[in-house]
Amino acid sequence: MSERKVLNKYFPPDFDPSLIPRRKQPKNSQQVVRLMAPFSMRCNTCGEYIYKGKKFNARKETVEGEDYYGIKIFRFYIKCTLCSAEITFKTDPKNTDYTAEHGASRNFEPWREEKAVEEEDRLAKLEEEENNPMKALENRTVDSKREMDILDALQDIRARNARNERVGQSVDLLERITVEEIETEEDRERKRLDEEDEKLVREVFSKVTVPVAGASGESETRTVTVKRKAGDIEPDLDKLLPPTSSFTSLKPAATPALKKPKTDLKKSLGIKIKSKPAAKAAV
């Protein structure tokens, strides 16, 4: 089983392929091939529609007596998917297409009809020009005029597009300039407001040097930030200092007088005083 998977087979040195007899086949033999329907068709027997791309196991044969400039024409046999009726079609090298031959009719395809009509008109025009030189001259004149009209229209479209592009660029430039001016005004306004805020902060908050009593009893100076009221009246410095501040005021605080503790002379001398009994109530 493993040797069927190899790519190369063993050929002995004395192998001669010319000695192998050729298999005799009939002249018009058929081959079984797997193909897809080249066009959508309808069965003439049962009316079943067979869409393009449907897969079939078909029989293939060469059409005898028909060719196109030496190109062979092949015929294919398939069966209808519903009634199993035989359907045949063959290749068309002239139009690089297929033609339905028997058992089914090809569905209508409008684009194929348009191409056929255009081809017929072209051939008729060429035949007419060959027989009538004046007609050929008139046709060439009409074609050249049509080409000039197309070029003029194309030039107008290009000029219009260029003009629209310039207008668009100018509009974009104006919008950009307007946006820059607006941004500049906003920056100026923001800068002015910032300066006013800084000025107000400098007016409200100011640093003042305050004398403070040191640990050794000598007076020292410290710089503190005080908050001033917005107005023309300048309050006292004591009112500006916070109440929880640990700094002393400019005015020295009065030291309270020390009170002497009271001493009981009677207890210190050891004198005991007896209390008098209460008077008896009168009968």
Q: Is 211 annotated as a binding residue?
A: no
Q: H/E element holding 164? A: helix 133-204
29 burial via Cβ count (<10 Å: 0-12, 13-18, 19+): exposed
Which DSSP string do the residues of 77-89 spell out, in sequence order? EEE-TTT--EEEE
274 is in an annotated binding site: no
Where does the chain show beta strands of DSSP type E? 31-36, 41-43, 49-50, 55-68, 71-79, 86-92, 97-102, 104-106, 205-213, 219-227
Q: Is 171 annotated as a binding residue?
A: no
Burial of 50 (0-12, 13-18, 19+ CB in 10 A): buried
3-state secondary structure of 152: helix
166 annotated to a ligand binding site = no
User: Residue 260: helix, strand or coil by DSSP?
Assistant: coil
The binding site for Zn(2+) consists of: 43, 46, 80, 83
Residues making up the binding site? 43, 46, 80, 83
